[in-house]
Amino acid sequence: MKDIGEFARLRLAQLPTPLHRLDNISLALKKNVYIKRDDLTGLGLGGNKVRKLEYLLADAKNCGSDVVITTGGAQSNHAMLTAACCNKLGLGAVLVLMGRGVTEKKGNLILDDILGAPVSFVDSDDYADVYAEMDRIAGEFSAQGKTPYLIPVGGSVPRGSLGYVECMRETSVQAKDMGVSFGHVICTAGSGGTLAGTTLGAAIYMPEAQVYGVTVGEGDFERITAELIDGTARLMGVRTDAWPRILPYYGEGYAIPSAEGNAAMRLMARSEGIILDPVYTGKMFAGLLELAKNGAFDDPGDLLIIHTGGAGGVFALDIE
């Protein structure tokens, strides 16, 4: 097995991110609940994508690239954070976003503007069309003598997932220092790289923990997660049968706030003063509350929530 420390990586995030107990939520759920503050990774408005970009942009640099092209939804946290990280590294960033009719300059689109990243919208529901447009733009850059580097949606390729293998290593060290042993780790699954890396990383560094992934949109999450765990394990030269519990919790669809997700956001904000987001972490916390109600955590193992960020989205969506 390759050690996670052997992979090319650029230092972009403020690490380690804080790990702390949620006293009021713990009291309410009669369970020790902790939170890993990956909303505080330090660039843009913070979030999980910075950890993936540490590995992806190291690869871009090693490939001699000078411009990065990536994609996501109109309110993509990943695209915004790619622009932020590229600025820090002196790389160009171009964002090709799936418009889906939501192109009003709010939330992350304001940040993309401030960060100076050119944004273009593709009016399609099919990522095949978006990738075709990215290829076309890459061709233009190549014709100008530039070397583009393409990052797929969410940075969810095995190299990006290494960021969450590393996050689990970091968390296991913090947990040991605090005398905590996690029986459960929960995060969301959007493009899947975070869940895959967390699952593999937990299997390596916190084998006693069961990992849960709450989905936030429609999609073949079983297949995507399996492919990403497998690809990341191959990259590390490790055999694994690690598998998370995947919970289908997406309400009406991706980036559509749900009543349960919004209620969960309010509960977190009103009991702990921590702001979740309506697209990912609010729905994740709603899924957690549902699991808790059904007795999934009725054992002595402590529970860890990974706060993956998403602050920009709070200012873009109408929350009922």
Ligand X SMILES: *Cc1c(COP(=O)(O)O)cnc(C)c1O
Shortest distance, CB of residue 228 to ligand X, whole angstroms?
Answer: 9
Torsion of CA 277, 83, 222, 281, to 10 degrees: -10
What are the structure tokens assigned to 302, written together?
């402590």
Question: Considering the complex, what minimum distance in angstroms separates the CB of residue 197 from ligand X?
Answer: 8
C-beta of residue 218 within 8 angstroms of C-beta of residue 253: yes
Instruction: Name residue, tokens 């996690």.
Output: 182
Radius of gyration in angstroms for the set of CA atoms belonging to the chain, rounded to a whole number: 19
Under 8 Å between Cβ of 98 and 73: yes
- DSSP E strands in 49-181: the ranges are 67-73, 92-98, 119-122, 148-151
- Whether residue 283 contacts residue 213, with contact meaning beta carbons closer than 8 Å, is answered with no
Nearer of residues 32 and 188 to ligand X, judged by Cβ: 188
Annotated active-site residue 258? The verdict is no
Residue number with CB closer to ligand X (32 or 165): 165
Nearer to ligand X, 28 or 315 (CB): 315
Query: In terms of CB distance, is 216 or 292 closer to ligand X?
Result: 216
C-alpha to C-alpha distance for 231 and 235, rounded to whole angstroms: 6
> What is the end-to-end Cα distance of the chain in Å, rounded?
48
Of 189, 14, 159, 134, the C-alpha closest to 85 is 14
User: Minimum distance from CB of 280 to ligand X (Å)?
Assistant: 3
Which residue has the CB atom at the shortest distance from ligand X?
A: 310
Question: If DSSP codes are grouped into helix, strand and coil, which group holds residue 231?
Answer: helix
Give the integer Cα–Cα distance in Å for 223 and 90.
Answer: 36
Please identify which of the residues 76, 156, 172, 258 carries the catalytic annotation.
Answer: 76
Q: Phi-psi region for residue 290, left (φ > 0), alpha (ψ -120 to 50) or beta?
A: alpha
Residues forming contacts to ligand X in the complex (CB under 6 A) are 47-49, 77-78, 154, 156, 188-195, 277, 280-281, 308-310
**Residue 32 or 305: which CB sits closer to ligand X?**
305
Task: For the CB of residue 145, give the shortest distance to ligand X in the complex, in Å.
Answer: 33
* Residues with active-site annotation: 76
